[in-house]
Amino acid sequence: MKDKEIQFIGKITAGITHEVNNVFASVREISGLLTDILSLTSDESFKHKEKFNTSLEKILNQENRGVKLISQLNKFAHLPDSQSSEIDINENIQHLIFLTERFGRVKSIQLQMQPAEQEKKVVSNPFYLQMALFYCVEYFLNNLKAGGKIFFNHYNNQNNYSINISAEGEVFNLQKLFNDPSSMELSNLSKTLEVLDAAHEFDKTNKSVKIKLSIEK
């Protein structure tokens, strides 16, 4: 896809997320009003008060969930807005984990990040960086068995910035994973890294696989 097409999808999605957010805001106020009215009603005069309150609480919980999802989707939709911007790596990985959590959940694979103590920022293309990280996650998701874990950590080097994505747990085909890293996900990853002018390397020590992305500072 070309940048213009990506931006088009982003723009439309961002617009819709605003509208959906407004729907959630209205739902919160309407259910909030019902809660307010119920709080003024005595238990004796309304025998189903407790059931109503429990249901309203459930509506609020779902609404909170919806708001969180839509806010992350909005953030995602804005990724193509700029071809180069300052990216907070901690925030970026947390965002990716949120977006891919569902893929992990259906395969019973956990995604975890070890946040850097200090705020770490790089200047890069936000959309393609997220895409590169996604392909790494996808690669592990497709090769790990249920119960596996995918870890992220990142650190500063002298000339570049490194993000490590490593996997822990049983793999479907250890031989393939170690010797044939030319899968579709990794070919996609290479193409994406070309756009970012970034590099990746495999570290296969300790019976684990680690993909190290190096981004120029």
The residues of the shown chain that bind another protein, judged by CB under 8 A, are: 14, 17-18, 21-22, 24-26, 28-30, 32-33, 36, 40, 63, 67, 71, 74-75, 78
Would you say 21 or 183 has its CB closer to another protein?
A: 21
| Phi, psi dihedrals of residue 200, rounded to the nearest 5° | -140, 155
Nearer to another protein, 49 or 78 (CB): 78
Q: Are 214 and 203 in contact (CB under 8 A)?
A: no
Distances (CA, A) of 32 to 42, 44, 140: 17, 22, 43
Residue type present at position 143: N
Q: Kindly tell me which of 32 and 115 has the beta carbon lying closer to another protein.
A: 32
Q: How far is the CB of 94 from another protein (least distance, A)?
A: 17
Q: Which is nearer to another protein, 88 or 101 (CB)?
A: 88
Q: Which residue lies nearer to another protein by CB, 1 or 40?
A: 40
Helix (H, G, I), strand (E, B) or coil at 186: helix
For the bound state, the minimum distance from the C-beta of residue 41 to another protein, rounded and expressed in Å, comes to 13
DSSP 3-state of 42: coil
Q: Which of 9, 130, 17 is nearest to 68 (CA)?
A: 17
Distance CA 139, CA 32 (A): 44
Which backbone phi and psi does 114 adopt, to 5 degrees? Answer: -100, 105
**What is the rounded distance in angstroms from the CA atom of residue 63 to the CA atom of residue 31?**
10
E-assigned strand segments in the chain:
85-88, 110-114, 121-124, 149-156, 160-168, 199-203, 210-216
Residue 15 beta carbon to another protein: minimum distance, rounded to whole angstroms? 10
* Shortest Cβ 190–another protein spacing (Å): 33
Strands 121-124, 85-88: pairing kind: antiparallel
User: Smallest distance from the beta carbon of 48 to another protein, in angstroms?
Assistant: 21
- Minimum gap (Å) between residue 213 Cβ and another protein: 26
Indicate the residue among 71 and 94 with the shorter CB distance to another protein: 71
